[in-house]
Amino acid sequence: MTKTIEPQRINVLDDKGYVILHDVMGSDLSVVNAARVSYDKKSEALTDGDRRLIAFLARERHTSPFRHAFLQFEIYAPLMISRQWHKHIIGSDHSFNAHNESSRRYITEEAAFHIPEADAWRSKPANSKQGSGATLDVGEGTLLTKELRKHVEQSERLYEDAMANGVAPEQARLFLPAYSMYVRWYWSASLAAVCHMLNQRLASDSQYEFQLYAKAVLELIKPHFPVSIDALVKDVDA
C-alpha cells in the first residue's frame, strides 16, 4: 500500500544539493507479512514477535521480504556523487532499482556547481585508495577554491558561447566541468536496496560528500521503517 505523504526534503552539502522523499510503499508490517505468507499467516499490527522476526530476517540475510517495500527519491547532487550512486543499480544484486536523470541533451537549465570552501579541501588518505585524509591548510584551500571557481566560470562562458552560436546542447555540454556539476535524478528502490546503499555509503571510508547524502536518506526513511532500519543498517545513530 502506497502512503500519501507530503514530499520531505533535506538540504545537503552546500545547500544547493538536496534529497526529497516523494513516495513510500509499505511499512515494517509489509516486511513481516511478506515473510509470514509462507505459513499463510498475517499480522494486523506489529507485535514483539514481528520485531524479532525482522531482526532474524536481517541477521540471516533473508532479504526478499524487505524487497516488498519501496521508496522514491528526488536527488540533486554533483555528478561525482551521481555516478557513485548509479553503481548501486548497475552492480547491486538487488534488481528493484530505477534511476532517471535529467539530461542536458534536452534541457538548458542554469548550471550549478559544487565548489568546496577553503576549509573543506582534504588530503589523500595515507593507507587507502579511497576516502580522504586530513583537512588541508586553509591557505592552500583558498587557492584551490579560487582556481576551481575560475575554471567553472570560464567553462560556463564557453558553454554559453557554444549555445549562442547554435551548437547542439548535447555537444555544448562538453564544455561544462563534469564532476562538480549538479545533476537531478529520481531514484526508486526497494527497502533492501536502499539499506544496501546506506551500509556502504555511511561507512567512514566512503566519500565524505556521499556520506552526507546517505545520512539525509537515512533520516528521511527511518520514521517509515524504524524496526527494519535498526535491523538492516549497521551502526545507525541517526
Residue pair 202/233 in contact (Cβ under 8 Å)? The answer is: yes
User: Hey, CA dihedral for 209, 211, 214, 219, is it positive or negative?
Assistant: negative
Give residue limits of the domains in the chain.
Answer: 2-105+182-232, 118-175
Topology of domain 2-105+182-232, CATH: Gyrase A; domain 2 (3.30.1360)
Q: What's the pLDDT at 40? A: 77
Which residues of 39-167 form beta strands (DSSP E)?
70-78, 97-101
Q: What's the pLDDT at 75? A: 97
Catalytic residue among 67, 173, 184, 201: 201
Q: What's the pLDDT at 213? A: 97
CA distance 71 to 190: 6
CA distance 11 to 206: 20
Taking CA 92 as the corner, what is the angle to CA 91 and CA 96, rounded to the nearest 5 degrees? 125
Identity of the amino acid at 12? V
Q: What's the pLDDT at 92? A: 57
CA distance 183 to 112: 8
What cell numbers appear for 6 in the block? 507530503
What cell numbers appear for 220 in the block? 528521511
Establish whether 201 is a catalytic residue. yes
Which residues of 70-116 form beta strands (DSSP E)?
70-78, 97-101
Q: What's the pLDDT at 1? A: 55
Q: What's the pLDDT at 238? A: 46
pTM: 0.85
Which pLDDT tens digits describe the chain residue by residue (238 residues)? 556 678 999 999 888 999 999 999 999 999 999 998 877 788 899 999 999 999 999 999 998 999 999 999 999 999 989 988 887 776 555 556 777 777 666 556 778 888 889 988 988 877 766 678 888 999 999 999 999 999 999 999 999 999 999 998 888 888 988 888 899 999 999 999 999 999 999 998 888 999 999 999 999 999 999 999 999 998 654 4
CA distance 193 to 94: 6
